[in-house]
Amino acid sequence: MSINTFGHLFRVTTWGESHGPALGATVDGCPPGVPIDAGAIQHWLDKRKPGQNRYTTQRREADAVQILSGTFEGVTTGTPVQLMIENTDQRSKDYGDIKDKFRPGHADITYFQKYGLRDYRGGGRSSARETAARVAAGGLARAALAALAPTVEIKGYMTRMGAHEIDRSRFYWDQIDQNPFWTPDATAAETWADYLDGLRKSGSSVGAVIEVVARGVPAGLGAPVYGKLDTDLAAAMMSINAVKGVEIGEGMSAAMLTGELNADEITMGPDGPVYSSNHAGGILGGISTGQDIVVRFAVKPTSSILTTRKTITRTGEETEIITKGRHDPCVGIRAVPVGEAMMACVLLDHMLLHRGQIGKNQGQIG
């Protein structure tokens, strides 16, 4: 990963701030001939768009994407695709209070220390608005995956909000799109609704765990030892705003298992190897096994809260701050489509990388 670019061959560079004229993604290395138009990308952006229900920020952005380059007559040309989203709702007056104070838990202080300035109007480059560009790039990646590997299906959902985890015995795929939290557990959705209403009204916020699963991924993707599929997924997810932890398969809990419990046994199915379980999260030695790829990440609670907190000013004066404005009580909700987008970009990138070095899988079992 370069500074504002990620990917080996499918390279995404995002640019733009929350309160500038526009933001976007410059996507290089997309295969040619992929059918795409702005509508197909807009579909995914709408999923992330703020203000859709009372659980997300009331900031209203159209988040309308334009394709400025890299397509011709409805398909990609193989040259850079520029995806631009204009910023339309920039009530910078909301942010006047933080011009000289650093918000605890935000990037305000580190940006100032490093760069000597910061765009105090709303987080600037560190704003979660940057993730809109990721979702746009992910939309293009999904279109390319649909052309190159139509079996791949990517789905993200929330498995924990604060103290409340889902019950996996109530896990239903078709529930995910049925509630504002993208959770597969309908009962959890009800609990969380009340819980989050309470937090929202008190001006507080809470963290969340998001799980992203990719099904139908062929075996063989990933490049040891520093371009491992799990390495790149970890980087991709950790690069999302507010993410503090990333897990593959069993994740941190792998530490609690013995070798007998952890290793997924292998038998032979009609189409190749079959595994008794998926502690590995679909990745062995950094390379996909053909099982579901399972990634999980924790999103910290929004630091913009209505409770008074101690902080300092640019000149080093001690003071207090309340962060008003229109913030997400559980920013993890909107991280779901972002996690999906990062998964799509990483998988496509590794498909191209695999094809480049290897062509097709060289080993055939059975």
* Least distance from its own copies to the Cβ atom of residue 355, Å: 5
Question: Which CB atom, from 180 or from 218, has the smaller least distance to its own copies?
Answer: 218
Q: Which of 305, 217, 291 is nearest to 250 (CA)?
A: 291
* Cβ-proximal residues to 42 (8 Å cutoff; 6+ apart), any chain: 64, 65, 139
* Least distance from its own copies to the Cβ atom of residue 22, Å: 5
Phi-psi label, residue 16: left if phi above 0, alpha if psi -120 to 50, beta otherwise: left
Question: Which CB atom, from 117 or from 168, has the smaller least distance to its own copies?
Answer: 117
> Which residues, listed in sequence order, are joined to residue 344 by a DSSP beta bridge?
none
User: Measured between alpha carbons, how far is 109 from 107 in angstroms, rounded to an integer?
Assistant: 6
* Cβ-proximal residues to 202 (8 Å cutoff; 6+ apart), any chain: 306
* Least distance from its own copies to the Cβ atom of residue 54, Å: 18
Task: Give the number of other CB atoms < 10 A from CB of residue 74.
Answer: 9
* Least distance from its own copies to the Cβ atom of residue 23, Å: 6
Structure tokens of 199? 């937090």
* Least distance from its own copies to the Cβ atom of residue 133, Å: 9
Question: Which CB atom, from 92 or from 174, has the smaller least distance to its own copies?
Answer: 92
Q: Which of 360, 339, 308 is nearest to 103 (CA)?
A: 308
Q: What is the DSSP string of 15-31?
A: EE-TTSSEEEEEEE-PP
Question: Which CB atom, from 174 or from 259, has the smaller least distance to its own copies?
Answer: 259
* Least distance from its own copies to the Cβ atom of residue 132, Å: 12
Q: Is 204 exposed, middle or buried (0-12, 13-18, 19+ CB in 10 A)?
A: middle
Q: Which of 297, 315, 165 is nearest to 241 (CA)?
A: 297
* Least distance from its own copies to the Cβ atom of residue 147, Å: 11
Question: Which CB atom, from 84 or from 154, has the smaller least distance to its own copies?
Answer: 84
